[in-house]
Structure 1
């Protein structure tokens, strides 16, 4: 079941990526809800995903701290 939550989180982040403020809010929620190893996977995915969206790069600080 936790894999489903991780996949859902990625889907939500992709859908709100048009708005950096909303993306940041959803990323904070994801960090609270995911397991540590899922956060690591999310971190790797975010590094790839934000390469094409520089306006979202600033949100990476939330996942690097945790």
Structure 2
């Protein structure tokens, strides 16, 4: 599932609104370890264009905590 999310995010990266929407959707479908990998991948791949979106979407998550919550 993680690879599919990466594919989708890459395809919609031209549009900030679509990118954010798809990134938020991915939070509901991925497991914690996949979310950690996704955050790292987003930071590596989209730092130049979507850094604020990535930070805003992942900020409420405490991925270091076992009992993380998604609002």
TM-score range, shorter chain: 0.7 to 0.9
Partner of 1:64: 59
| Dislocated runs of 4+, deviation >3 Å | none
Q: CA deviation at 1:51?
A: 2.5
Q: Distance in 2 between matches of 1:24 and 1:50?
A: 12
Q: Distance in 1 between matches of 2:59 and 2:3?
A: 20
Partner of 2:15: 19
Flag the structure with more relative contact order, 1 or 2, with Cα contacts below 8 A and sequence separation at least 6.
Answer: 1
How many residue pairs match? The answer is: 60
Q: CA deviation at 1:13?
A: 0.1
Structure 2: state its 5+ residue gaps.
Answer: 62-71
